[in-house]
Amino acid sequence: MEDNMELNQAGFDAIAQKLKQLYPKQDGIFYRSIIPYMLGGNDPLDGVEIWKSETGVPHWHYVTYGYSELYEKECEDPAVSGYGFEMTFRLKCGKEEQPPVWPVNLLQNLARYVFSSGNVFGVGHYIDGNGPIALETDTKLTALGFCMDEELREMDTPNGHVIFLQAIGITSDEMEAFMCWDGKKFLEEMSKYSPFGITDLFRSSYMDNPNFYEAWKQGMEQDGSSTGFLYLDEVGAPLDKGRAYLRLGAGHDQILNRMLRARVGKGRNLYLQGTEDVVQFLPGEPHISMGDGVLSLTMPKEILEEICYVLTSHTGTYPLSDYPLTIELVPTRIVDQDGNVLRTIE
């Protein structure tokens, strides 16, 4: 098996050659998976190669091998190699002489998600890390956005086309703002302050920058949101005798308010997924229905505005005036990893 791989690694060699062209005066550091995934190993990627870049500010450039077809062609689509991408990550250099290893683990974790779920990432997508992207560091970056790697971009290999998709560290409030606008445009705006999408673990949120915030606000109001799905754990949505009852955690009011305006307010649907219940918000004439376990709330602009107004309230029960919907806002408890309540939002 190993001999066959050595004899036919055209996809692998194509990526290696492209990287050598970008960094002709150095040798990359390659972290190879000890046990191949196909033989029961835990790491889906064959490996991650790391290069030292002086582009923009000095940083480490991590590039994966394994989302695309590195060896034999197996995917039925001849135009696309494997999942159609490899992933990159750029980390601002500190005082270290050798590249940190944690981004290698981060990239392998992302690959585990893709390989196990079949869900692929693309330009303008995001993923919530539910915690610091670098464990045991004092960073505000808890999520990732994805854009095209500005230098590597895309290429054709003997096994099909591959794009180089770059993961960029973002803060929790940036992720919420990202969701409420067009993800691709959000990252393009962010690139004005972080050229080449270099992740700086110790930066503050760009939402605190007045110029960035104003550009985001204008873009959201003009374009609406490209994200049609929102997950919140505290969601209840029964329908009883023609009246719907929507239960929400009070701590999620701001993001849902923004998403409703950026989606339904722009004539688009929004799916709200809870741990058990699903709600679909739609623009149109007033109507409420339940089908296949999904509560559908169709509403004109005036009802949307009333819902958004209610979402700014404190905990309590709020029946809408001219629409058969009652909204209940319940306390949201913020807990640590051990389940201890840190604070309660009411």
- CB-based contact 88:167 (threshold 8 Å): yes
The mean pLDDT value of the chain amounts to 91
Kindly tell me if the per-residue pLDDT of 2 is higher than 60.
Answer: no
Residues 6+ apart with CB under 8 A from 166: 87, 88, 89, 90, 146, 147, 148, 149, 150, 197
Kindly tell me if the per-residue pLDDT of 346 is higher than 60.
Answer: no
CB atoms within 10 A of CB 200: 16
pLDDT score for 323: 97
pLDDT score for 7: 56
pLDDT score for 39: 62
pLDDT score for 1: 38
134: tokens are 């670098």
The answer to which of 42-51, 96-105, 231-240 has the lowest mean pLDDT is 231-240
Q: What is the pLDDT of residues 248-284, one digit of tens each?
A: 987 777 889 999 999 999 999 999 998 889 999 999 9
Kindly tell me if the per-residue pLDDT of 6 is higher than 70.
Answer: no
pLDDT score for 302: 96
Beta bridge partners of 294: 278, 291
Q: What is the pLDDT of residues 328-342, one digit of tens each?
A: 998 766 555 556 655
Beta bridge partners of 155: 162
Residues 6+ apart with CB under 8 A from 112: 42, 44
The model carries a pTM of 0.86
Q: Name the nearest CA neighbour of 261 among 179, 165, 322.
A: 179
Q: How far is CA 240 from CA 16, 66, 184, 233, 324, in A?
A: 61, 50, 41, 22, 10
Kindly tell me if the per-residue pLDDT of 286 is higher than 90.
Answer: yes
With residues binned 3-state (H G I as helix, E B as strand, rest as coil), the percentages for the chain, rounded to 5, are: 30, 35, 40
With bands split at pLDDT 50, 70 and 90, how would you rate the model's confidence at 290?
very high
Q: What is the spatial distance between Cα 203 and Cα 200, in angstroms, rounded to a whole number?
A: 6
262-283 core/surface letters (b: 16 or more CB in 10 A; e: else): bbbbeebebebbbeebebbbbb
CB atoms within 10 A of CB 24: 7
Q: Name the nearest CA neighbour of 63 among 80, 75, 45.
A: 45
Q: Which domains does the chain have, with CATH numbers?
A: 2-223 (no CATH), 229-335 (3.30.1360.230)
pLDDT score for 211: 97
185: tokens are 């445009």
pLDDT score for 222: 95
Q: What is the pLDDT of residues 36-91, one digit of tens each?
A: 666 667 889 999 999 999 999 999 999 999 999 999 998 889 999 999 999 999 99
Collapsing DSSP to helix, strand or coil, 253 comes out as: helix
Q: What is the pLDDT of residues 108-153, one digit of tens each?
A: 999 999 999 999 999 999 999 888 999 888 999 999 999 999 999 9
Contacts by 184-193, CB closer than 8 A, 24 or more apart? 184/123, 184/124, 184/147, 184/226, 185/219, 185/223, 186/145, 186/216, 186/219, 187/124, 187/145, 187/146, 187/147, 188/147, 189/215, 189/216, 189/219, 190/145, 191/147
What is the separation of C-alpha 159 from the centre of its chain, rounded to a whole number of angstroms? 27
The answer to which of 6-10, 121-125, 153-157, 217-221 has the lowest mean pLDDT is 6-10
pLDDT score for 3: 45
